[in-house]
């Protein structure tokens, strides 16, 4: 059993039943010209999560612990994208429109791919999800059951939407969830801060949060 100095208290996990889940580190959300920027967001905030996520990936790969990546994207005919999602707000481009990196958030398009720095390697699971949470309409639950996973370490974007949604889904399914603080970001720093507070509130109502250094130290001990 390894122990991480975390909030609201120590996070303990068994390496044999732990996986890293990297949420939506996609070009459309992180790079200039992608969907995130068409919504009027400053994508430089998101880029702060790249190096810490790379570090976290290295730690898991060195230990040969399971890694799962997710991508929020849709079928080319948008049959899995409800109008309520596509038509919301007033972006300069919508899901399925042609953008600088191909059709926005469409499976197989360049913008829907994971940034090169955090790209999956052979043997890592990649989940394409049509919603915010990674359990909805995906194989994630079955994959975790097959791997006999009970604890999940999280990284990715955005903190308050897809990351938190997936953590809440996982929490409801009985998983112990730890979010690595530097390895997640939001277009709105205040939203990230509020989400971290919500996750660890009331004795860890959703889960735990910890700095990357604390997690790395626990592995090295």
Which residues are known catalytic residues? 24, 129, 162
Contact call for residues 156 and 95 (beta carbons, < 8 A)? no
Sort 77 into a burial class: Cβ within 10 Å, 0-12 / 13-18 / 19+.
Answer: exposed
Distance CA(100)–CA(8), nearest Å, equals: 42
Contact call for residues 69 and 124 (beta carbons, < 8 A)? yes
Contacts of 135 (CB under 8 A, 6+ apart): 141, 166, 169, 170, 173
Contacts of 90 (CB under 8 A, 6+ apart): none
State CA 160 to chain mean position distance. 10
Distance CA(57)–CA(30), nearest Å, equals: 18
């Amino acid at each position: 059993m390894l122990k991480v100095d975390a909030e609201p208290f120590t996070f303990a996990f068994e390496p044999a039943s732990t996986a890293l889940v990297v949420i939506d580190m996609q070009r459309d959300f992180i790079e200039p010209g992608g969907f995130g920027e068409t919504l009027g967001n400053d994508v430089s905030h998101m880029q702060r999560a790249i190096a810490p996520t790379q570090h976290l990936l290295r730690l898991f790969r060195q230990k040969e612990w399971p890694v799962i990546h997710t991508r929020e994207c849709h079928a080319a005919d948008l049959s899995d994208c409800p109008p309520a999602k596509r038509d919301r707000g007033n972006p300069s481009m919508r899901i399925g429109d042609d953008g600088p990196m191909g059709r926005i958030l469409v499976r197989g398009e360049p913008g829907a791919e994971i940034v090169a720095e955090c790209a999956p390697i052979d043997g890592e699971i990649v989940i394409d999800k049509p919603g915010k949470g990674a359990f909805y309409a995906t194989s994630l639950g079955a994959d975790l059951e097959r791997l006999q996973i009970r604890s999940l370490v999280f990284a990715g974007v955005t903190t308050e939407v897809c990351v938190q949604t997936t953590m809440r889904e996982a929490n409801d399914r009985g998983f112990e969830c730890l979010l690595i603080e530097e390895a997640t970001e939001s277009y709105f720093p205040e939203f990230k801060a509020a989400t971290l507070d919500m996750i660890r509130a009331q004795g860890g109502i959703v889960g735990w949060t910890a700095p990357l250094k604390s997690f790395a130290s626990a592995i090295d001990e």
